[in-house]
Amino acid sequence: MISNTIDQEIKKAMLAKDNAQLRGLRAIKAALLLAKTEKGSSEEITVETELKILQKLIKQRRESADIYKSQNREDLFQVEEEEIAVINQFLPKQLDRAEVAVIIEQVIKQSGATSVKDMGKVMGMANKELAGKADGKLIAEIVKEKLA
């Protein structure tokens, strides 16, 4: 479980006085605590849920970084990039485009999809298969290409 590791890493970052690491770790801890205490959630969070939360945090920071970059706010852009690097430490290795394409081809064969109309079914299976290993935007892009 990622949440157990986070507490230990926070202590290390505090002792090392590593503010960038500490900021990223605290963001992860806050998101996990929020997910744990949400209405209707079970007592424990699954590893898959933790991975989804981390991917969501990275997506939010990438969007913010893009905005800061376009507005020439290098100081704020750097903060977001540092946090992305910290969060990435807890995600599995991200697959490249070619590896994702191979997995999606297998998913399409398994599902028997033939056209773009079957995209929803393929996306559901592909997202389960690639959970935490690839960005959802990349998965959707490749599925569209393969089914077109």
Q: Which of 68, 72, 71 is nearest to 82 (CA)?
A: 68
What is the mean pLDDT of the segment spanning 96-121?
Answer: 87
Domain that holds residue 85: 2-89
Instruction: CATH number of the domain at 74, please.
Output: 1.10.1510.10
What's residue 41's pLDDT?
A: 63
Residue percentage of the chain with pLDDT more than 70: 97
Number of domains into which the chain is organized: 2
Decide if pLDDT at 43 tops 70: no
What's residue 127's pLDDT?
A: 85
Higher pLDDT, 12 or 46: 12
What is the mean pLDDT of the segment spanning 73-98?
Answer: 91
Half-sphere exposure at residue 58, Cβ-oriented, CA atoms within 13 angstroms: 21
| Same domain membership, residue 49 and residue 103 | no
Confidence of residue 42 (pLDDT cuts 50, 70, 90): low
| Same domain membership, residue 63 and residue 6 | yes
Contacts of 45 (CB under 8 A, 6+ apart): 1, 3, 32, 35, 36, 53
| Same domain membership, residue 103 and residue 57 | no
Decide if pLDDT at 94 tops 90: no
Contacts of 84 (CB under 8 A, 6+ apart): 58, 61, 62, 65
Confidence of residue 134 (pLDDT cuts 50, 70, 90): confident
Q: Choose one of 89, 113, 139: the last residue of a domain.
A: 89
Q: Choose one of 89, 112, 127: the last residue of a domain.
A: 89
Confidence of residue 62 (pLDDT cuts 50, 70, 90): very high
What is the mean pLDDT of the segment spanning 4-23?
Answer: 92
